[in-house]
Structure 1
Amino acid sequence: MKVLVTGATGFIGRLVVRHLREAGVELRLASRHPERLGSENETVPMPGFDAPAAAFLELTRHMTDVVHCAGLNNDRGNATEADYQAANVELSARLAHAAAAQISGRFIHLSSIRAVIGAHVSATIDEDTLPAPQCAYGRSKRESEITVLDAYASHGRSDAAVLRLPPVYGSGMRGNLATLMRLADTPLPLPTGALTGIRSLMSSEAAVRAVSHLLSHSGPLRPIYVGADVPPIALDAVIAAFRRGLGRPVRLMAVPAGLIRPVVAALGRRAFWDSLTATQICDPALLVSQGWTPEAGTLERLAELARLSRS
């Protein structure tokens, strides 16, 4: 087995690299910043979305499998719809067509639950959830899923799979979870009583184990998988866990949502607040049925993450 990992310097990509390297897998690492990858494995620059087809054929030549972590995440506040289309859709399509034409193994494409649901919508999410993305990032992730699976289908192949991830936590995380940790790092009481949302999260290590499972699983691949820790947890419990890890008193106050919304709206954070009141539960039953084990100690892991960030 020789695996191409794209986005090898990213939040999840670097952990995929470490896991596969420790398992003795031969790797080729592709990144926009190959100088950051060291000399332990073969490293190459990641072609741009508009690179010639020959560049993607060369990238995948002599590979058996691909783990595609590269892409533009939704923590880039100034990214446009065109930016997301280029980085997430067009790049994925070019890579998938090259891989389908010449690799013998699997193509694992990392996606997001934003491909099927908006940040403010309450729902339970599994592989059969009807996609209804509501932002430029989500639309690009859904289109990238389609392009990857269609590229493999056009070559008569079914060994590509999409792994949809909920918010992922771990060292180096960004987005709303990082914001919540910063909010938790204050001695003042926090008005979290109106945070009624329950969320599925996923540790970065569990996400990496899911990738490794899909690469090595002996049975045929399904086109879509959903990952998550179990069970889902309440958002006020997330903040409490962060506070414990940071050595802060928990000190959470029950404040009616009607009193909080005008304040957060005045601060320009209404969208952030609304995203924290939605309940989004991911069901990883398909992965579990195939032998993958989810993380079950989410709150303990969050507290430890906060403690390590302090140190």
Structure 2
Amino acid sequence: MKVLVTGATGFVGQRIASRLREAGFDLRIASRLPQRLAGADDAVALPGADAPQEAFLALMPDVTHVVHCAALNNDRGAGEADLRTVNATLTGRLAQAAAKRSEGRFIYLSSVRAVVGADFSGTIDEATPPAPQCAYGRSKREGEIAMLEAFETARRVGATALRLPPVYGEGVKGNLHGLMRLAATGLPLPAAALTAVRSLVSHDAVAGAVTHLLARPTPPRPTYVLADASPVALSEIIAAFRRGYGRPARLLPMPAWPFRLLATLSGRQASWQALVATQICDPSLLASEGWMPETDTLGRLEDLARQAG
């Protein structure tokens, strides 16, 4: 049984590829950066979104399943057109080829940004109506639609999107990397401004979910929301990182209003609203189907900082 993994040189894709190998799957690796694949077995270049369909079909010989991790993320300053090209058009083209030539699952790594904006407060599950608020979120939602339409047109089942909250692990990027850098400074921080609660997911848990969905006999549902078992407060995240670095927490009992006022005066209200938003992802659907979410988020974050330090 062979699995085509796109984006396998990336942060999450690399961990997924490793877990699938450990589980006994044969892999074909496709990357938009083929220079990173030198020496890898069964490694191919991932066609661009404007490539002929034959180029995508050429990826599929002997492939049973596809795990599509390749994406343009929202931390690189990409414009909306580029995000749509990579995250939506490319996904649709790959899904069309998979629906025609492969026999098994198509797993697309999506994001909770396909459903809600950064300033949303509440619980996110599979029934949350999609209302993306940024170019990245819109592109991921369009990718989900393109994938599902490709399989529906081919009268196939087996396509699913995994909606992920911020992902952590070795090589973490984005806002969590920024929090790690802030924690490493040891600067005192206002605890009252860091009370928002967030769901996170470890890249090991994502890899475990992919492996689980490929191994189980019944087809997946169209979407799943992933997260660790328990959400954590931003103050707890900072404190965990600082324990890992061997530093005191230094979270001071300062009120939040001066920081809210400063954000208002500097025109950064949106950033403030994103900082104080509580976003809880409910992973109970996939957990009810046998997947095991991470239960020690703070311990894993502490270990991550310890390794980085």
State the TM-score, normalizing by the size of structure 2: 0.96
State the distance in 1 between where 2:24 and 2:231 align: 33
Identical-pair percentage: 59
Amino acid at match of 1:182: R
Give unpaired runs (5+ residues) of structure 1.
none
Q: Decide whether the 8 Å contact of 1:196 with 1:278 is kept in 2.
A: no
Over 3 Å counting, the alpha-carbon distance change for 1:267 and 1:29 in structure 2 is farther
Q: Report the Cα offset of residue 193 of structure 1.
A: 1.7
State the distance in 2 between where 1:73 and 1:127 align: 22
Q: Report the Cα offset of residue 172 of structure 1.
A: 1.1
1:196 aligned residue:
195
Over 3 Å counting, the alpha-carbon distance change for 1:290 and 1:57 in structure 2 is same
1:161 aligned residue:
160
SS of 2:3's partner is strand
Is 1:139 matched with 2:132?
no
1:26 aligned residue:
26
Write the mapping of 1:49-128 to structure 2, written as runs, cut at 5 A. 49-77=49-77, 79-128=78-127
Q: Report the Cα offset of residue 263 of structure 1.
A: 3.7
State the distance in 1 between where 2:141 and 2:55 align: 25
Write the mapping of 1:1-16 to structure 2, written as runs, cut at 5 A. 1-16=1-16
Amino acid at match of 2:131: A
State the distance in 2 between where 1:240 and 1:265 align: 27
State the distance in 1 between where 2:266 and 2:48 align: 38
Q: Decide whether the 8 Å contact of 2:23 with 2:211 is kept in 1.
A: no
Q: How many residues align?
A: 309
State the TM-score, normalizing by the size of structure 1: 0.96
1:130 aligned residue:
129
What's the CA shift string for 1:56-99, capped at 9, x where partnerless? 0001222110000011111112x111011100010001000010
Q: Decide whether the 8 Å contact of 2:190 with 2:256 is kept in 1.
A: no
Q: Decide whether the 8 Å contact of 1:3 with 1:64 is kept in 2.
A: yes
State the distance in 2 between where 1:85 and 1:172 align: 25
Q: Report the Cα offset of residue 6 of structure 1.
A: 0.3
Moved more, 265-274 or 161-170: 265-274
Over 3 Å counting, the alpha-carbon distance change for 1:304 and 1:269 in structure 2 is farther
What's the CA shift string for 1:165-209, capped at 9, x where partnerless? 110001111111111111111232112322221111001100110
Q: Report the Cα offset of residue 220 of structure 1.
A: 2.5
Q: Decide whether the 8 Å contact of 1:194 with 1:254 is kept in 2.
A: no
Over 3 Å counting, the alpha-carbon distance change for 1:269 and 1:18 in structure 2 is farther
Q: Report the Cα offset of residue 152 of structure 1.
A: 0.2
State the distance in 2 between where 1:246 and 1:255 align: 23
What's the CA shift string for 1:5-38, capped at 9, x where partnerless? 0011111111111111122211100012223234
